[in-house]
Structure 1
Amino acid sequence: MPDYAIMWEWLSLAARWTHVITAIAWIGSSFYFIALDLGLRKTPSLPPLAHGEEWQVHGGGFYHIQKYLVAPEFLPEHLTWFKWESYATWLSGFCLLVIVYYVGADLYLIDRHVLDLPQWGAIGISVGSIVLGWLIYDTLCKSPVGNSTFGLMLVLFVILTAMAYIYTLLFTGRAAMLHMGIFTATIMTANVAAIIIPNQTIVVADLKAGRVPDAKYGKIAKQRSLHNNYLTLPVIFFMLSSHYPLAFATQWNWLIASLIFLEGAIIRHWFNTRHARKGSPHWTWLAAVVIFIVIAWLSTSPKLGDAREEVASANAERFLAAEHFAAARDVILGRCSMCHMAEPVYEGVLQAPKNVHLDTDAAIANHAEQVAMQAGFSHAMPPGNVTEMTPEERALIVAWFREAGG
């Protein structure tokens, strides 16, 4: 029977794999339809009631696409909905949040130096903030502010920046950045589930019944779809950020998150303008490069936790008390700590990978499962076995991990 920890690791991988697959499907269909809608053109040959058309080539065939704002004389029986990609992306992402950050709250979610929260409290704040984000956003959209697309986006930018800062006062830097991703992704999926699909369902029912649909439903759905389009690139960044300590583990991580929203919007503006055949605003790429340079500069500020004393979590105590801890610690200090420390001494390594420090007893115990998976059960670390860890040393790490009940 495989070890529990190994099965949990595979469950995490399965959830992440599913999340990536569904996200690709959602983002792909979203980008495609935005580009399609912006590229439609009115021509003299359009049939009655048609709003615009476009033809495309793909897969050895030709596609003639026409858009109708009201029902044409004939509608095919089968209607294809693009909604499950969004739902599956959010559900798989939330599963991953539970597997990694809620189950591993002591290590990944809670930073005792930031705020000493009980595990249930941290999880409660996480879930509450995610729900609150959608409620605030939806209320704003339905308020007078929502009548101005630009004004609404500006207010939303301020709220997102404030949330980025608040999250850094609650959680680890890694969790703060990840929560900006799920905070935003929840708004996007809720837009699909609560606004876009219901509104389109009403319009479709009117079209099939021969009624003229109320234009407000299409207008609202299009506004929410546009928001989703501009928020997509920042969400992707936040999902990738957990692999890059320079993004999440620096003094200005909240400001970096804010600038990522700005940069993502600028990049989408270039694509949307091009798809609409309204020119090529090349200034957007210069602005994006400048913003990225500023982000890189901000990341050189002092790292969070550089001068902190590592505190062993309650879960780590059993690893510290294990009989083989001292021997395993010596192996880890000799083979891993030259990279995994506040100031790495291995040439070319400027910061501890994933901000994992393995230079104190408490730090090693806190990361026992990661060490066992990366350097015991597998040979992923050290990379290329550059420090020449022996099979006996790997077996010792596994023995220590299992002895402590890992």
Structure 2
Amino acid sequence: MEAVFHDWISLFVRWAHIIAAIGWIGSSFYFMGLDYSLRKRKGMEDDKVGDTWQVHGGGFYHMVKYKVAPEHMPEELTWFKWESYSTWMTGFAMMAVTYYWGAKGLLIDRSVADLPVPVAILLSAGSLVAGWFLYDGLCKSALRHRPAVMFAVLYVALVFAAWAFGQVFSARAAWLHIGAVIATMMSGNVFLVIIPNQRIVVEDLKAGRAPEAKYGQIAKLRSTHNNYLTLPVVLMMVSNHYPMAFGHPYSWVLIGFILVIGAVVRHWFNMHEQGRHGAIMKWQWPLATVLAIGMMWFSSWRPGQAAAEVAPQAAMAVVSKHCAMCHAATPTHEGFEEAPGGVAFDTLPEIRAHASKMLAQAVLSNTMPLGNETGMTPDERATLGAWLRAGAPE
């Protein structure tokens, strides 16, 4: 009963997270596109950056952006903040339900680091806080005047963090935590920088003071960071279904690929919104395609997994020892009342029917058994892999 209750809670929290994320990503992409579509018209006042005309849902909209703020506080002002806050809160709730509640199976891998559950959870939550302070310090450093260099340093730091997470957490959790660290940076930008800066401008307007432009400029820089980091985060959040990515022995290299691909694709859209043409628009998609192909090639390579002939009895012994306790018509594992996903390995035809999933989850990655609870060794994974690649013969 507890397993069913946990699954329903997980489903509802995931649903809420997706709904919130759609709202945040949608508004973020819209306003970046709006900014880039602004044009300075002839005769426009000096306090205006530009304006743009848009049509949607049968109506016309005329948007104008001020360089700093209008002369007087408008009667009604819409704030865009809860999309970000609710996305982070539901995301953390989902991580708690999935990785903290099920820490022994999903957060901890005993073959990587046999951590006590409280220690693993503390490391997880602490890494989110540490990630924000390191990023915020970088944004306030002298590199803030050289955005490209700062972003390069941030890239190296995130790839290093991906490697570090892989030294303490399960492969699935390590990959997910990079996404969570980036998402915390992004939401922290909204909560601790963008909105407070906007409030300073609003308070100046209310008091009859002329707001300083620097607050808007700082907020704009953080918003741009969020824009370029969004696509990598989205992929990392949904990657738990694809062990060929997070389960690779060098998954931190794949993180490096994804960060670049996501930023390059986002850059093309940003340039498109600006109405740019020519060479500046021609390199992004070819580069992203080459990187994607390179990532797929790299993910297919596994060190030290040479083909070998395996006795069927030896492979079946591995399945019986490490897989069948959960994946059976009547599981013997205390955490399951029925086979997860309806996948059972009681018979050879059932094993053959799910051979590709077994190969991906238990051979090409260490995803299964969960948390390596049964202590499956590299040699046993190699044995199982050779047998499955041969067609699982009798």
Provide TM-score, normalisation by structure 1. Answer: 0.78
C-alpha distance 46-4 of structure 1, shift in aligned 2 (>3 A): same
Q: Which residue of 1 aligns with 2:168?
A: 170
**Letter of the aligned partner of 1:262 in structure 2?**
V
Match status 1:351 vs 2:360: yes
**Letter of the aligned partner of 1:139 in structure 2?**
G
Unaligned residue ranges in structure 2 (runs of 5+): 307-314, 376-394
Instruction: Quote the offset at 1:86 in angstroms.
Output: 0.3
Give the 5 Å matches for 1:218-367: 218-279=216-277, 281-302=281-302, 320=332, 332-334=345-347, 336-338=350-352, 344=355, 351-352=360-361, 357=368
Q: Which residue of 2 aligns with 1:193?
A: 191
Contact 2:21 2:87 in 1 (8 A): yes
C-alpha distance 80-356 of structure 1, shift in aligned 2 (>3 A): same
Distance 1:71 1:220 in 2: 15
Structure 1 stretches of 4+ moved >4 Å: 303-307, 309-312, 319-322, 353-359, 361-364
Instruction: Quote the offset at 1:34 in angstroms.
Output: 0.5
Aligned pair count reads 348
**Letter of the aligned partner of 2:81 in structure 1?**
K
Contact 2:204 2:210 in 1 (8 A): yes
C-alpha distance 303-214 of structure 1, shift in aligned 2 (>3 A): same
Give per-residue Cα distances to partners, 1:180-226, cap 9 Å, x unaligned. 11010000000000000000111122234332211211111111011
Give per-residue Cα distances to partners, 1:295-325, cap 9 Å, x unaligned. 1011112289999x8998xx99xx7587x99
What is the aligned counterpart of 1:184 among 177, 182, 185? 182
Contact 1:130 1:183 in 2 (8 A): yes
Moved more, 203-212 or 175-184: 203-212
Distance 2:216 2:67 in 1: 9
Match status 1:108 vs 2:106: yes
Contact 2:72 2:205 in 1 (8 A): no
C-alpha distance 234-12 of structure 1, shift in aligned 2 (>3 A): same
C-alpha distance 118-336 of structure 1, shift in aligned 2 (>3 A): farther
SS at 1:115's partner residue?
coil
Q: Which residue of 1 aligns with 2:131?
A: 133
Higher relative contact order (CA 8 A, sep 6+): 2
Contact 1:19 1:89 in 2 (8 A): yes
Q: Which residue of 2 aligns with 1:44?
A: 42
C-alpha distance 229-358 of structure 1, shift in aligned 2 (>3 A): closer
**Percent of matched pairs sharing the same residue:** 46
Distance 2:224 2:256 in 1: 19
**Letter of the aligned partner of 2:37 in structure 1?**
G
SS at 1:52's partner residue?
strand
**Letter of the aligned partner of 2:352 in structure 1?**
M
Q: Which residue of 2 aligns with 1:368?
A: none
What is the aligned counterpart of 2:27 among 19, 26, 29? 29
Instruction: Quote the offset at 1:351 in angstroms.
Output: 2.4
Provide TM-score, normalisation by structure 2. Answer: 0.80
